[in-house]
Amino acid sequence: MLFNTDWLMRLFEDFTGMPENDVSVHSVETDSRKAAEKSLFVPLVGEKFDGHDYIKQAFDNGAIATFWKKGKPLPNFLPADFPVFFVEDTLLAMQQLAKAYRDKVDPVVIGITGSNGKTTTKDLVSAVVWQKYNTHFTNGNFNNHIGLPLTILSMDPKTEVLVLEMGMNHSGEIATLTKIAEPDYGIITNIGEAHIEYLGSREGIARAKLEILQGLKHDGIFIFNGDEPLLQMQTYAQETITCGFHEDNDIVIHDVSVEAQQTVFRLGADETYRIPLLGEHHCQNAAYAITVGKKLGLQHHEIQRAFDEMKLTGMRFEMLKGKNGSIIINDAYNASPSSMRASIEVVKQLKPYAVKVLVLGDMFELGSDAEQWHRQMADSITEPISAVLTYGHDAQYIASAMNSGQTGITCEHFASKEELLKNLQTYLRPEALILFKASRGMNFETMVNEVLEVT
């Protein structure tokens, strides 16, 4: 990114009243440790830290301008001619700058929200459009009120397509993001139960995701999961395209086959696709990418090439070599009831493993019904699952629900990861498939690392 002096200054003038100055900013940084040569430093005020306290480090690292909260004393070391843009709220100013930069570069913007599958869909959409366009996209999971503006501000001025993941915990957050991004395409991947603690109900979650329409361009296209009644029931001002397994959808997914390294499916009457991801739910994510790709002029073979070549963001259903010839699935990046069910479903479908083991942990942020959500998971755990090992305060309810039913599936709860790992040893053998799934904060990757083949 390069803000040339003229227009950057004009933007600043709009909301700071600062006169023109003679700087050219190459990047925007909120982390003083990462501030680079010619960066604009944006000191954010958080609960624990105040970025203003780190201006010295940003300056030493090469920052050539800074935002500054009005009323805060400026440190003495700054040269008298160092450009300081006084603003009421540094975060808001950065968001406004991102919006202005988005309008200036004016790429086709694709905004992606939903309870599950945002990052995967972002990866799929980016891989597809990248085949034909200069594409910029959210790095990792940089999807919130800070990450999204920083993603926009780091795009090259020649960007033709911008793919943005939009995450949220509370209502109102997607509204903020979509108004900054003003997407040409808005995608809702699905409605699950994640963050129900803050949103009250699945209806509340759907409402919060639908905020994406508040920023969607008037001639924009809304693409969503047509199998979700909460989305299907509504009428929308913008053009819509629904994707799903139901025949009534605009884009219908069928003939899904989950294989060892890929999922194959058909879309519409005559197109077959292969994706390097396992599970039906990923066909849904791929359908969004195909729909956007087609709208942007890509052909079937170009889209397929994108799927063949794509790189995925880590820890999402990664199949890895485990000790003694076992296969480990690392899905420890995050978990909610819908994503845990989806992963268990894939494990059930995968051939040709003789032993299928689930290592499950707590799913966070489910509010007062957390116990119930965990208990309900037992309904999904049926043959050919061979054994379930749980760890975590709420995961014990999965185990107790399993053990009170007559499932015939071995299920044991452990008080520590060490104990769980000790008991897992017997399953580390050829033909065994072992899934690790829990919320991020459970740090299940520490257990995954213990059972991987040592190379």
Where on the chain is the footprint of ligand ATP (CB under 6 A)? Answer: 114, 116-120, 141, 167, 189-190, 281, 284-285, 316-317, 331, 333-334, 338-339, 342-343
Q: Minimal distance in Å, beta carbon 242 to ligand ATP?
A: 14
**Contact by Cβ (8 Å): 123, 310:** yes
Task: Identify which of 318, 317, 316, 321 has the alpha carbon closest to the alpha carbon of residue 452.
Answer: 321
Q: Considering CB distances under 5 to 8 angstroms, the limit depending on partner class, which of Mg ion, ligand ATP, none binds residue 339?
A: ligand ATP
DSSP per position, 75-144: PTTS-TTS-EEEES-HHHHHHHHHHHHHHHH--EEEEEE-SS-HHHHHHHHHHHHHTTS-EEE--TT--S
CA 173/CA 166 separation, integer angstroms: 9
Q: Minimal distance in Å, beta carbon 122 to ligand ATP?
A: 7
CA 356/CA 348 separation, integer angstroms: 8
Element (H, E) at 178: helix 173-181
Binding of Mg ion by 141 (CB under 5 A)? yes
CA 173/CA 196 separation, integer angstroms: 15
Residue nearest ligand ATP, CB atom distance = 117
Q: Minimal distance in Å, beta carbon 284 to ligand ATP?
A: 5
Binding of Mg ion by 209 (CB under 5 A)? no
CA 67/CA 149 separation, integer angstroms: 15
Nearest residue (CB) to Mg ion, 51 versus 183: 183
Distances 162 to 82, 138, 299, 333 between C-alpha atoms, Å: 32, 8, 20, 25
**Contact by Cβ (8 Å): 271, 278:** no
Nearest residue (CB) to Mg ion, 224 versus 333: 333
Q: Considering CB distances under 5 to 8 angstroms, the limit depending on partner class, which of Mg ion, ligand ATP, none binds residue 338?
A: ligand ATP
Nearest residue (CB) to Mg ion, 118 versus 413: 118
Nearest residue (CB) to ligand ATP, 105 versus 332: 332
Q: Considering CB distances under 5 to 8 angstroms, the limit depending on partner class, which of ligand ATP, Mg ion, none binds residue 189?
A: ligand ATP
Q: Considering CB distances under 5 to 8 angstroms, the limit depending on partner class, which of ligand ATP, Mg ion, none binds residue 413?
A: none
Number of residues that bind Mg ion (CB under 5 A): 3
Q: Which residues, at least 6 apart from 267, have a Cβ–Cβ distance to it below 8 Å? A: 251, 252, 253, 254, 273, 287, 290
Nearest residue (CB) to ligand ATP, 40 versus 166: 166
Helix (H, G, I), strand (E, B) or coil at 239: strand
Nearest residue (CB) to Mg ion, 105 versus 152: 152
Nearest residue (CB) to Mg ion, 163 versus 451: 163
Residue reference for tokens 């959210």: 138
**In the window 84-123, what residues touch Mg ion (CB under 5 A)?**
118-119
Q: Minimal distance in Å, beta carbon 48 to ligand ATP?
A: 22
Q: What is the dihedral of CA 67, 69, 72, 73, to 10 degrees?
A: 20
**In the window 277-316, what residues touch Mg ion (CB under 5 A)?**
none
Q: Minimal distance in Å, beta carbon 174 to ligand ATP?
A: 12
**Contact by Cβ (8 Å): 93, 51:** no
Q: Minimal distance in Å, beta carbon 440 to ligand ATP?
A: 7
Nearest residue (CB) to ligand ATP, 131 versus 339: 339
Binding of Mg ion by 144 (CB under 5 A)? no
Task: Identify which of 414, 112, 168, 440 has the alpha carbon closest to the alpha carbon of residue 289.
Answer: 112
Q: Minimal distance in Å, beta carbon 137 to Mg ion?
A: 12
Which residue ranges make up the site for Mg ion (CB under 5 A)? 118-119, 141
